[in-house]
Amino acid sequence: MASLAFSSSIGRSITSSNAMVSDKYESRREGFSLGKTTFARKRDPRDSMVTKVATQAPTMFPSLEKELAGDRNHVAWTSVRQERYEGELAVQGEIPLWLSGTYLRNGPGMWHIGDYNFRHLFDGYATLVRLHFENGRLIAGHRQIESEAYKAAKKNNRLCYREFSEVPKTDNFLSYVGELANLFSGASLTDNANTGVVKLGDGRVVCLTETQKGSIVVDPNTLDTLGKFEYSDSLGGLIHSAHPIVTDTEFLTLLPDLFKPGYLVVRMEPGSNERKVIGRVDCRGGPAPGWVHSFPVTEHYVIVPEMPLRYCAQNLLKAEPTPLYKFEWHPDSKGFMHVMCKASGKIVESVEVPLFVTFHFINAYEEKDEDGRVTAVVADCCEHNADTTILEKLRLQNLRSFMGEDVLPDARVGRFIIPLDGSPYGKLEAALDPEQHGKGMDMCSINPAYLGKKYRYAYACGAQRPCNFPNTLTKIDLLEKKAKNWHEEGAVPSEPFFVARPGATEEDDGVVISIISEKNGDGFALLLDGSTFEEIARAKFPYGLPYGLHGCWVPKK
Task: Report the binding-site residues.
Answer: 243, 293, 360, 550
Q: What are phi and psi of 324, to 5 degrees?
A: -110, 15
Q: What are phi and psi of 556, to 5 degrees?
A: -70, 135
Single-letter amino acid code for the residue at 518: E
Burial environment of residue 289 by CB neighbours within 10 A (0 to 12, 13 to 18, 19 or more)? buried
- Do the beta carbons of residue 310 and residue 291 sit within 8 Å? yes
Single-letter amino acid code for the residue at 440: G
Nearest to 441 by CA among 485, 410, 418: 410
C-alpha span between 304 and 264 (Å, rounded):
10
**DSSP element (H, E) containing 184:** helix 173-185
Nearest to 363 by CA among 481, 257, 489, 245: 245
- Do the beta carbons of residue 247 and residue 451 sit within 8 Å? yes
Please, which residues have CB within 8 angstroms of residue 81's CB and are 6 or more apart in sequence?
58, 60, 61, 64, 68, 543
Nearest to 95 by CA among 143, 42, 140, 55: 140
Q: Tell whether omega for the bond before 466 is within 30 degrees of 0, i.e. cis.
A: yes
Nearest to 556 by CA among 133, 139, 142, 257: 133
**DSSP element (H, E) containing 383:** strand 374-383
- Do the beta carbons of residue 156 and residue 178 sit within 8 Å? no
Alpha-carbon distances of 148 from 156, 162, 213, 215, rounded to whole Å = 12, 12, 10, 11
- Do the beta carbons of residue 302 and residue 280 sit within 8 Å? no
Residue by residue, DSSP assigns 435-464 as GGGTT--EEEE--GGGTTS---EEEEEE--
Please, which residues have CB within 8 angstroms of residue 276's CB and are 6 or more apart in sequence?
233, 266, 267, 268
Nearest to 434 by CA among 376, 387, 383: 383
C-alpha span between 488 and 467 (Å, rounded):
13
C-alpha span between 102 and 19 (Å, rounded):
18
Binding annotation for Fe cation = 243, 293, 360, 550
C-alpha span between 501 and 479 (Å, rounded):
22
Nearest to 289 by CA among 326, 316, 259, 332: 259
